[in-house]
A and B are shown apart, each in its own frame.
Chain A
Amino acid sequence: MGNSLISIVLFLPLIGGILLMFFPSNREFIPSSRDKLIKVIGLSFALLTFILSIPLFTSFKGGFEEKVIWIDPNMLNTSYHLKLDGISILLFILTTFVTPIILLASWNSIQIRIKEFVITVLLIETGMLGAFVAWDLLLFYIFWEVMLVPMYFLIGIWGSENKIYASVKFFIYTMVGSLLMFLGILYIYMKVGSFDLDVIYRNVNLLSSDVFNIFGINLHVEHILFLVFALSFAIKVPLFPFHTWLPDAHVQAPTAGSVILASVLLKMGTYGFIRFAIPFFPEASIDFAPVISILSLIGIVYGAFMALAQTDIKKLIAYSSVSHLGFVMLGLFAVLNRLPGSSEAIFMYQGVQGAIYQMINHGISTGALFLLVGMIYERRHTKEMKEYGGLAKVMPIYAVVFMITTLSSIGLPGLNGFVGEFLILLGTFKANWIYGVIGASGVILGAVYMLILYQRVFFGECTNPKNLSLKDMSIREIIVMVPLVILMVIMGVIPNYFLSKIDVSMGEFFKMIPNIQLGGM
């Protein structure tokens, strides 16, 4: 079992989902006990997946790999190749970690079509895990696209009023990017002759040689390919100006959908940049780095201001995601600078490290924020800030948990958010101080809008009579939040334990990329 542990973890949720599909739907059961049984089965599959994935994390020393023949190799040079390295291990474990939490958090909030809901969440888990471990472009593309389908249903069936618009918008936006990337992948296959990432990394120079001459203009193929990949990932991140689907999707999605989106799905985009776009097209990445850095900065500032202007709590957090993910992108691209008078470029180590760390942080703290908003929405069925006020007196435990999460999100030292933002800004200042200054302003704005949110919801007099009788967090809700809060503290206090996992393969990974050196070690 040791050798195929990744596959077991990867397909366990899928197996659970398929088993649940055959769960009898007739009236042999009393409806409520039947629903409970379904939820228990789903949760135990998700928990088992998490437990099995723990050894992958604790015994991680550089990578796990699996390779099996999949499609007839005479026909297509591809294989079922999975690999976990320092870049993906944390995201992988984050996914298995949040899925049981999501199922537990949706215990009461999902009232209709419970069986389908559990199946959908389990299918999304397999899709996301697959995209993180695939070490073969075709396999990656399949997981990357397949995960859209259950996500589309999750928003579309269990969402609020405007869900059809939001789910279709989400699907079409993502498809636009990924279908163009599909052509790019085929072009890479034509040039390199394999879908295997190891082979492609070794032959990236083959991708940079071609030049198209269209209507007298010379276009470097590498630039076109980079743009195609970048578009696909930028939509997923989402990078300004491709972010417009995100607020819609977040607001309409049920809590589970928002948490999946915020915690894992958005990371797919930034992960794609690190894993594919930058190493495949180093030259083009260096050339486009200023553009992407500026777009990230606009995203940071714009997202923060939009968050300030929101009255809907979920929308506020959605825009804060745009801002936070801008940080991650800044950590990847602002630190990529060409050395003067040379074709080589230097890649500030802290920026990349911080970007990966911040991906996890954002997953935990924003995921937790959406869970918290979901809890209050279950009680009051409104997400309008002005409907609340003075909740700190009525729901003290809730207020404390919300405070810790808020502080983690704005990057208070001692909590996880600080480490990531600090590393990113450190790398950015080393590379380009102007970017650093603008980026740092985002941190301040972040504190402003989050604290305003906290103040309006929790402080002051509890004037609205409907709020007076609100119940504090139940035991189940506390169980949901405790692991997240613990992780926020641990990741803030002993970041080295996690950073060392990232470090294991960073040097090796970036050694493969021509023209780019890691700097600032």
Chain B
Amino acid sequence: MNYFESIFAILPILILTGTALIILLVEAFIDKHFKNLISLILSVAGLIFSMYYLICGMKTNATEYFGGSYIVDNMGMAFSLIISIVAILVIFVSFHYITKKYKNIGEYYSLILFASAGMISLSLSNDMMTFFISLEVMSIAVYVLAGLHRENLRSNESAVKYLILGAFASAFLLLGIAFIYGATGEMHFGKISKILLNHSSEYTVTLGSTGLLFILIGFLFKIGAVPFQQWVPDVYEGAPMSVTAFMATGVKTAAFAILIRGLITIFQVIETQTLVNILSIITVLTMIVGNFMALIQDNIKRLLAYSGIAHTGYILLGIIASKVTSPNNMDISPILFYLLAYALMNIGAFSVLIGGGSDGKDLETFDDIRGLGYKNRLLGLCMVVFFFSLAGIPSTAGFMGKFFIFKSAIQSQSLLLYGLSIIGILTAIVSVYYYLKIVVYLYLKEEKRVYERQSVKWNYLLINIISLVITLLIGIFPHIGYYILKI
């Protein structure tokens, strides 16, 4: 493989890293009044540039670069596109927000870009080394972001908790990688599975599958599946709101990218039935714990954290369905669609929570959002659409996401998946209750009071309108979502 072609293939990642470095440099030299705006323009330009090269580099056939370390295929590209969209939205949401909380603005933007570069690299990685380094690039940037609000104890707690538990997950991953390398002497995903499948030596197989189990645990930790979910609500609650939005969408998308990459390569070694059984138990627990714990929250950030866990459960359901339908050639388009929808409605919801706040405080508890629908009609309308979308009411992206996931589950024609779908639907009914609770506070409480109109900064409005329009558009015409992701 030509060396320059390889460089061209990872150009999106290079552009992002380069932009991040430029922002760090530029920030030192410019007047502090323009710092924020210039950093915003630079980082969005960098992201759009990198998206452009992502789309240019899109190939119909999967191609490997750098001796197999990177793979460029439709799946990786679609994940990278979602991640780029998420990053752009999050950067716009942060624009006014970070000036309130934080002084060194340049660092914030470059950390987001570093994290995005790590995520894109993660979804394109094809061997153990690349994957682990990308994961750490992403994670370390996000650890710092979570602790951004230095004077705030909860932000510190969040960062430390995330760091320690993240290190725990990294340790599992490293141990797993070491075991597998010990068993096979290979780093490349494809070669590992080839060796593990062909070698019948008991030593290799035992060591290899122990390693795979460790790696699976690491992945499940990153996507926040039960029983590895405890860190999610605490970390989400403490982190600054814009970072929470980034973690809930970007990090989750990247983690799913690598989980699916693993499922179509190294985890094929494990017998499909065993894998499906393990994942099914985890899915059921995730759906149940996520939805029922969300019921009893009084903090909206925590509620969204648990609802995020529940949505992880639905995505896992989709993964199981495609694994059962065709173990070797998984159709992951429903999962991609779901992730796109999930990202849009979550970032939209967080943007309302930030934008609707006054006096430097975000909206965090139910009392904070009382009557928000009357204080600012647009924010209220957006919030309602996003929460009905999260609940899966038709004509929103969330419904179409659930529709495709459950459709693939039913079409697999297996009794196990019928059972999982029924549990999924029953827990979805539970979720309707807590999403409605938000709407109750937005509109139904003290509706007779006359509220002061509240104005909102342009960037929150922009993100809200964009998310609202796309949520409704791909909710009514889902094929547009498929075109966006080219799947």
Contact = CB atoms under 8 A, between A and B. Distances in A.
Contacts of A466: none
A182 B410 contact: no
Contacts of B403: 186
A145 B394 contact: yes
Given A112-B448, A141-B394, A190-B410, A153 B443 contact: yes
Given A164-B444, A190-B411, A71 B422 contact: no
Nearest to B406: A186
Contact of B413 (A141, A157, A183, A190): A190
Contacts of A172: 429, 432-433, 436
Nearest to B400: A71
B440 A156 contact: yes
Interface string B431-451: 011001000100111011000
Given A164-B444, A172-B429, A182-B425, A145 B393 contact: yes
Contacts of B169: none
B425 A179 contact: yes
A177 to B, nearest CB: 10
A167 B444 CA distance: 10
A323 to B, nearest CB: 29
Interface residues on A, range: 35 or more
Most buried by A among B394, B422, B443, B479: B394
Given A71-B479, A146-B393, A183-B406, A156 B429 contact: no
A30 interface: no
Nearest to B482: A75
A171 B429 contact: no
Interface in B436-487: 436, 440, 443-445, 447-448, 477-479, 482
A199 interface: no
B425 A183 contact: yes
A179 B411 contact: no
Contacts of A141: 394
Nearest to B448: A112
Nearest to B483: A72
Contacts of A113: 374, 447
Interface in A451-499: none
B98 to A, nearest CB: 32
A179 B429 CA distance: 7
A180 B477 CA distance: 23
A163 B445 CA distance: 10
A72 B429 CA distance: 29
Contact of A175 (B406, B410, B429, B443): B429
Interface string B380-409: 000000001000011100010001001100
Given A71-B478, A156-B443, A187 B432 contact: no
A445 B467 CA distance: 55
A214 B419 CA distance: 11
B479 A72 contact: yes
B421 A175 contact: no
Interface in A81-130: 112-113
Contacts of A168: 433, 436, 440
A164 B403 CA distance: 29
A175 B388 contact: no
A181 B205 CA distance: 45
A25 to B, nearest CB: 7
Interface string A125-148: 000000000000000011001101
Contact of A212 (B388, B407, B415): B415
A112 B447 CA distance: 8
Nearest to B377: A25
A310 B421 CA distance: 42
A189 interface: yes
B428 interface: yes
Contacts of B429: 172, 175-176, 179
A190 B440 CA distance: 37
B275 to A, nearest CB: 24
Interface string A48-64: 00000000000000000
A400 interface: no
A171 B436 contact: yes
Interface in B80-95: none
Nearest to A75: B479
B432 A175 contact: yes
A164 B441 CA distance: 10
Interface string A64-88: 0000001110011000000000000
Most buried by A among B421, B428, B479: B479
Nearest to A157: B447
B479 to A, nearest CB: 4
A149 B393 contact: yes
A190 to B, nearest CB: 5
A355 B478 CA distance: 38
A135 to B, nearest CB: 17
A70 B232 CA distance: 39
A112 to B, nearest CB: 6
B429 to A, nearest CB: 5
A212 B418 CA distance: 11
B444 A156 contact: yes
A472 B407 CA distance: 58
A142 B394 contact: yes
A172 B422 CA distance: 17
A71 B394 CA distance: 14
Nearest to B407: A186
Nearest to B421: A183
A214 B482 CA distance: 37
Nearest to B479: A72
A228 to B, nearest CB: 10
A186 B433 CA distance: 24
Most buried by A among B411, B436, B448, B482: B436
A409 B433 CA distance: 36
B394 A157 contact: no
Contacts of B399: 142, 145
Nearest to A189: B407
Contacts of A70: 477
Contacts of A163: 444
B421 to A, nearest CB: 6
B406 A182 contact: yes
A279 to B, nearest CB: 21
A13 B377 CA distance: 21
B64 to A, nearest CB: 30
Interface string B102-124: 00000000000000000000000
A216 to B, nearest CB: 14
Most buried by B among A25, A76, A146, A179: A179
A180 B425 contact: yes
Interface string A153-172: 10011000001100110011
B302 to A, nearest CB: 21
Given A156-B440, A156-B443, A163-B444, A186 B388 contact: no
Given A172-B433, A186-B403, A189-B410, 7 more contacts: A25-B377, A75-B479, A76-B478, A141-B394, A167-B444, A186-B406, A190-B411
Interface of B: 374, 377, 388, 393-395, 399, 403, 406-407, 410-411, 413, 415, 421-422, 425, 428-429, 432-433, 436, 440, 443-445, 447-448, 477-479, 482
26 contacts: A71-B477, A72-B479, A75-B479, A113-B447, A145-B394, A145-B399, A146-B395, A149-B393, A156-B440, A156-B444, A157-B444, A168-B436, A171-B432, A172-B429, A175-B429, A175-B432, A176-B429, A180-B422, A180-B425, A182-B406, A183-B421, A186-B406, A186-B411, A187-B410, A189-B407, A190-B410
- Of all A-B residue pairs in the complex, the 8 with the closest CB atoms, nearest first, are A72-B479, A142-B394, A186-B410, A156-B444, A145-B394, A179-B425, A190-B411, A175-B432
